[in-house]
Amino acid sequence: NAGVMQNPRHLVRRRGQEARLRCSPMKGHSHVYWYRQLPEEGLKFMVYLQKENIIDESGMPKERFSAEFPKEGPSILRIQQVVRGDSAAYFCASSPGGVHEQYFGPGTRLTVT
């Protein structure tokens, strides 16, 4: 069973461009979580999705950030008009629901120049 997959692993964007980060959960997992880790800071929860539904987006910035988890395909975290402060590692985690542990992917490192 392959683990949580994230791509790209590294992404460089210029200020004002859009960044699209993809997360493929583990097989059979219908719950996806996105976390952000700013340089020298801890992991911060952003959003929790189930298939086609956003369950909790309390950690998402109010503007420029959006997330989706369609019926088919990976979950997407989209950042519009990126700024230098968006430079961070973005981690995705998945779980089948009803269990205690979440399984994390290797992360996408976004650099905004």
Task: Draw the binding track, 12-41, toward other proteins (x: CB under 8 A; -: no contact).
Answer: ---------------------x-x------
Alpha-carbon gap, residue 105 to 50, rounded angstroms: 17
Query: In angstroms, what is the minimal distance from the CB of 14 to other proteins?
Result: 24
Sequence-ordered list of residues with C-beta below 8 angstroms from that of 28, at least 6 positions apart, any chain: 96
Alpha-carbon gap, residue 84 to 71, rounded angstroms: 32
Largest Cα–Cα distance of the chain, in whole Å? 41
* DSSP bridge pairs for 13: 112
Nearer to other proteins, 3 or 68 (CB): 3
Which range, of 11-19, 67-75, 77-85, 99-107, touches other proteins by CB under 8 A?
99-107
Is the CB of residue 83 less than 8 Å from the CB of residue 112?
Answer: yes
Nearer to other proteins, 7 or 104 (CB): 104
Task: Draw the binding track, 49-88, toward other proteins (x: CB under 8 A; -: no contact).
Answer: ------xx--x-----------------------------
